[in-house]
Structure 1
Amino acid sequence: MQYQACLIDGFGITIQRRGIYVKLFNSRTIISTAVATVLALNSGLLLAAPGYKGGQDLPLTFSKTILASDHGVVANDGLDDAPAIQAIIDSISIDNSPDNLIRIKLPVGEITIADEVHVDRSGIVIEGQGVDAKTGTHIVINSWKPYTGVAEDGSPTFEKKYWPGFAAFRAETRIKHKKEQKFEGSINYHWKHSIELAQPALAGDTVLVLKAGRAKRFEEGDLIYIGATNDAAFLDLAEVPENMRTKGNIKSGHMRHQISHVTAVDTANNTVTIDKPLDFNMELKNYNKYKSRLMPVTAVENVGFRDFTMTMNQASTDCATNNTDEYDKKTNPKGVGHRYENVCPADAIHGIILKWANNSFVDNVNINMIGSHPVVTEFSKNLTLQNIDIDGSWNKGAGGHGYFRASKLHDSLIKDNDIQNVRHLAIQWSSSGNLIEGNTINADLNMHGGWERNNIIRNNTISVPFAHRSWADGAPSDGSWQPIWFSSGIHASDWAGPTGPNNVFINNTLEKANSADTPITRWGLFDTQGVTYVFGWDGNQFKHPVINGKPIATWNNEIAKGVYDNIPTSAVFVAK
């Protein structure tokens, strides 16, 4: 197959054949030249399936099984089992090979967690004995109220270097960097202290030229974080308004990043070679003198969670007087169903955090009424998140709470999950190369901002009730959220910047209720079966969504319809 390079935010591919076959996600699908062009932008999507070890089956055999009941984990006694589980993990070598898979088998019955369990060694799988109410493993979180306070907007406050907060299970290294000893995991923040480029890089590059002496900080096989500064040319492309470019997250951040493997190191020429071409340009620094940077990543690998249920003990929280039914100002003011506030922020404990994790998974887990995010990722790659049944969250308000949150996630698979009564299934913060497939959702599929790109969203069923709508001043607002939410530069630059190029929607069932008195019916936008909708693409290059040539300022039903009605000039490319 022959390709010819062209520029799409610095990189693009034009297929020189019409109606070609492309191997995509282990399937053989005939697609048009236009769609092949889009999908080829992310070479990883063409070379391997996303998810655990590039689409491999999840592991079922182990070098060792540790029965947690033999090490102080006692079911059904109401006592905190977190110290005993942590002791089992800590007994495993910190240098355990990812290929030396060790299963920690939890007993049948109710397991109590009253502190964060750090899964900070590679090769560990936390496994229950199923999700069945009678024969399975049920993890109950007793809130230990880990947050330091509550901000003015109602979100919990904490040291943001510990982002995204606290969880029952946290898969992340605990190693500290010598310059940042205040918190665990700081080894992955030493990029703030140098490792910079000696010359700009272009999308499509695989060899990066570093400042003198910096290449020796890398070894072949390392994971490498690559972050591009938000230079003025990029912000112009992204339609970030001038008055928002003084915001900290815009002037001093990396809206574009990727995580790759190092395949070669040349210390004589101060270069590193990566296994996946850049899909963005990298200037040395921006208008605020904030620099592009790289760092070797200390990741946990081959970590898994499977075969258990998880919930929060309501009685142990400030939510004790609330209930899970639908909120109604008159008849049920204590309900949290579709209530987008943080009703007990001191207890906004997540279910599972995967941060700086590679080749890891969550499979066959039920998470019901957790403190905030049932599952949340940060700076992770090649995850499989599948067969997860989610129902509700106590806190779904300001500060980004109550999501199935795929943040800074790369080359991963989110498949066959039942996601109910949370705020969003959010894809955000430079997430790229992911496949979101076969999920059933009664919230919205939310492209939440921060240059998410090259993601494929297909064969999902998204049914949005009228009650799924924004809140303001302690009450629901008029109108209802849409099955798809898409970030614009003007709106999303408040927190992250816009969604990036080539987010592909294929064969999704999209439904919503237009009023409290009408049933959920077909939305009618971006949902024609057999039609591929490519957002942020004009057929040749990235383009911010527009209506009649004017960049959209936000996203609502009227704007979504305007974008749809103005295809293809609205920056949604369509192919059949």
Structure 2
Amino acid sequence: MKRQTIIICCSLFVNSILMAQQTPKILTDSKANYLPDFSYAGYHFGESQIPEVTGKIINATDFGVKANDALDDSKALLKAIKAATSTEGNVILQLPAGRIILSDILYIERSNFVLRGTGSGENGTEIYCPRPMMYLKNPESLAELREYLTTFDKRQREAENNIDLSFSQYAWSGGFIWTQVPGERVKSYLDKYEPIPNVLAKVSSGNMGEHVITVSAVKGLKVGDIVELQLFNKDGENGEIIKDLYKGASVKPGSHHWNFPKLPIVRQQVEITKISNSKITIKTPLTIAVKPSYQAQLVEWKHLEEVGIEHIRFTFPDIPRVAHHVEPGNNAIFLTRLFNSWVKDIVITNSDSGILAEEDANVTIQDIVTDGPHMAHYTVTLGGVHTILVKNLKIYNKTVHPLSFNTFATKNVYQNCEIFTQPLLDQHSGANHQNLFDHITVHINPDKNNSYLLFGGGGADYWKPSHGPFSTFWNLNVQVEKVVDSAKPILLYGMKDGPFARIIGVNGNAEFEVKYEPDAYIEFLNTSLDKVPSLYDYQLQKRLK
């Protein structure tokens, strides 16, 4: 019996080595099982490193900012950012080392702008925010959101906790550092405020995964333009685009897929690389096919470029948490309307939300730490964004949605991230599709049934299902802190309405089973992907060759 056990163990060990040396079948047979190309995510489509910007340096200390004096620096910071904004060329607003106190919003409203501290460590720059944004003047750009929350009586109701409270405007928006294009609406909430877009071309066809679209009525487009591709559902509950978006999966789309026909249901920010008569080539591949009934169009997309936020620590007081969606607004960074920009070397302590992103493309967010005893809503969340790369994010604090792809998020990547406390990989409904969790490490404590809810599907019913086809998990490393029953595999579960996911290389320090519905493609279960540890890196290197 002992000899037989040894042979079986050796056989399993040898098979494990052989599997680790192999390439997943999905990489060599993607026609049978479609795998999106995620390699375009990040700053300059992943083709350039984040720069060490040089230019005119504006020292915040010249405008009265004085660290470590226990006095509020907001007025001085506002003067400094105004001076930097009016400076021509590349500009760096340099913050001093030490604690700076901020109790107002700093808006970054121009391109070629870097907000730079001296480091995120103990001897670096700390921005301390003593009170949340709920005590500030209401931001004009959130007026529509406030009206939406009131009109639809959005409330957090928890009878068992005696809670019946209005949603906060800061539950998923706003930040003490806030990038925006002045006067531009960021997110659609109410039809009556929907602006008439500047349509640059009508789009009639294009194939999923390809780069060429057929256009007509072209107006002023040129190579190098960054525009937004919009696809609509104007055909109600049975619209063809809904069936195409979910590839006929056995899921039930919610009413927001057809109740707002003026709003695009699929959108991509794209760069024009070639124009040839009725054919336009775009830099990034289409996430779904374009058909005439989708009334697709290319529209002007106003945005900022080459904006950087770097080398800073944000600290908030550890205030009591009342309830979900009523967060008072201890949010560090709100990124809107950015292209080819970055955030790096940031530590965020005790936030409600660390970094919120909306209506951005090709931004790299890297070397981020979130920590503290306060229970957060989000760490770094991606909603309404395209081709964003979040790299080297470490999460030490408890969070409702530690990693989250939110409404309209497409072709985004979380890479080399690690969740140390109560991990959850969330996909938050709202027609989000084709996003990648790449080489993620999670630390779990299985429940008494030897299982763990790892795959989350948040969001409201009217935006279900949790995600569209081809969301991908690659080389997911699961570290079990306390084994309940080593004799049987640990079940990783949670997703019931996420069609056609790709789950490649779930591995760790125990044996696992995966339950992911419906129709997930699972390969290399309980096998480390040593040959291709990162799908993003693999696809990027292959493309750049």
Q: Same fold (TM over 0.5)?
A: yes
Q: Which structure has greater helix proportion?
A: 2
Query: In the TM superposition, what whole-angstrom CA distance separates every residue of 1:106-131 from its partner, at most 9, and x where no partner exists?
Result: 11222122221111111211111223
Aligned residues of 2:404 and 2:425 also touching (Cα < 8 A): yes
In the alignment, what sits opposite 2:174?
Answer: 166
Aligned residues of 1:112 and 1:142 also touching (Cα < 8 A): no
In the alignment, what sits opposite 1:125?
Answer: 114
Aligned residues of 1:536 and 1:572 also touching (Cα < 8 A): no
Identify if the C-alpha distance between structure 1 residues 493 and 190 changes in structure 2 by more than 3 Å, giving closer, same or farther. same
SS in structure 2 of the partner of residue 276 of structure 1: coil
**Aligned equivalents of 2:487 and 2:105: distance in 1?**
42
Aligned residues of 2:492 and 2:514 also touching (Cα < 8 A): no
- Opposite residue 476 of structure 2, the aligned amino acid is N
Which residue of 432, 440, 455 maps to 1:484?
455
- Opposite residue 421 of structure 1, the aligned amino acid is K
**Aligned equivalents of 1:446 and 1:494: distance in 2?**
17
**Aligned equivalents of 1:520 and 1:437: distance in 2?**
30
Aligned residues of 2:417 and 2:439 also touching (Cα < 8 A): yes
Superposition map of 1:161-310 within 5 A: 164-176=172-184, 190=195, 192=197, 197=202, 199-204=204-209, 206-210=211-215, 212=217, 215-230=218-233, 232-236=239-243, 238=246, 239=249, 244-245=254-255, 253-264=263-274, 272-285=280-293, 291-310=295-314
Identify if the C-alpha distance between structure 1 residues 241 and 40 changes in structure 2 by more than 3 Å, giving closer, same or farther. closer
**Aligned equivalents of 2:360 and 2:486: distance in 1?**
35
TM-score, length basis structure 2:
0.69
In the alignment, what sits opposite 1:532?
Answer: none
Identify if the C-alpha distance between structure 1 residues 380 and 89 changes in structure 2 by more than 3 Å, giving closer, same or farther. same
**Aligned equivalents of 1:416 and 1:423: distance in 2?**
20
**Aligned equivalents of 2:80 and 2:488: distance in 1?**
50
Superposition map of 1:493-508 within 5 A: 493-495=461-463, 497-508=465-476
Bigger mean CA offset, 107-116 vs 80-89: 80-89
Q: CA deviation at 1:41?
A: 5.0
Identity in percent: 19
Identify if the C-alpha distance between structure 1 residues 240 and 249 changes in structure 2 by more than 3 Å, giving closer, same or farther. farther
Query: In the TM superposition, what whole-angstrom CA distance separates every residue of 1:420-446 from its partner, at most 9, and x where no partner exists?
Result: 312111013343333322211123121
In structure 2, stretches of 5+ residues that fail to align are 1-20, 139-145, 157-164, 503-512, 528-545
Q: CA deviation at 1:512?
A: 6.4
Which residue of 364, 373, 395 maps to 2:353?
373
**Aligned equivalents of 1:410 and 1:210: distance in 2?**
22
Whether 1:156 and 2:167 are equivalent positions in the alignment is: yes
Aligned residues of 1:381 and 1:410 also touching (Cα < 8 A): yes
Aligned residues of 1:439 and 1:459 also touching (Cα < 8 A): yes
Q: CA deviation at 1:311?
A: 1.9
TM-score, length basis structure 1:
0.66
SS in structure 1 of the partner of residue 442 of structure 2: strand
**Aligned equivalents of 1:263 and 1:41: distance in 2?**
24
Identify if the C-alpha distance between structure 1 residues 460 and 276 changes in structure 2 by more than 3 Å, giving closer, same or farther. closer
Q: CA deviation at 1:132?
A: 2.9
Which protein, 1 or 2, shows the higher relative CO under an 8 Å CA cutoff with sep ≥ 6? 2
- Opposite residue 371 of structure 2, the aligned amino acid is D
Identify if the C-alpha distance between structure 1 residues 92 and 451 changes in structure 2 by more than 3 Å, giving closer, same or farther. same
In the alignment, what sits opposite 1:35?
Answer: 27
Whether 1:386 and 2:346 are equivalent positions in the alignment is: no
Bigger mean CA offset, 198-207 vs 116-125: 198-207
In the alignment, what sits opposite 1:422?
Answer: 399
**Aligned equivalents of 1:506 and 1:211: distance in 2?**
39
- Opposite residue 510 of structure 1, the aligned amino acid is V
Identify if the C-alpha distance between structure 1 residues 219 and 403 changes in structure 2 by more than 3 Å, giving closer, same or farther. same
In structure 1, stretches of 5+ residues that fail to align are 1-28, 323-335, 468-477, 528-534, 546-559
In the alignment, what sits opposite 1:13?
Answer: none
Q: CA deviation at 1:69?
A: 0.5
Whether 1:405 and 2:381 are equivalent positions in the alignment is: yes
In the alignment, what sits opposite 2:523?
Answer: 574
- Opposite residue 457 of structure 1, the aligned amino acid is F
Aligned residues of 2:427 and 2:457 also touching (Cα < 8 A): yes
Query: In the TM superposition, what whole-angstrom CA distance separates every residue of 1:512-561 from its partner, at most 9, and x where no partner exists?
Result: 6899xx6999984579xxxxxxx999xxxx7479xxxxxxxxxxxxxx95
- Opposite residue 308 of structure 1, the aligned amino acid is I
Query: In the TM superposition, what whole-angstrom CA distance separates every residue of 1:213-241 from its partner, at most 9, and x where no partner exists?
Result: xx325343221111222462342352587
Q: CA deviation at 1:36?
A: 4.3
**Aligned equivalents of 2:100 and 2:211: distance in 1?**
47
Q: CA deviation at 1:366?
A: 0.9
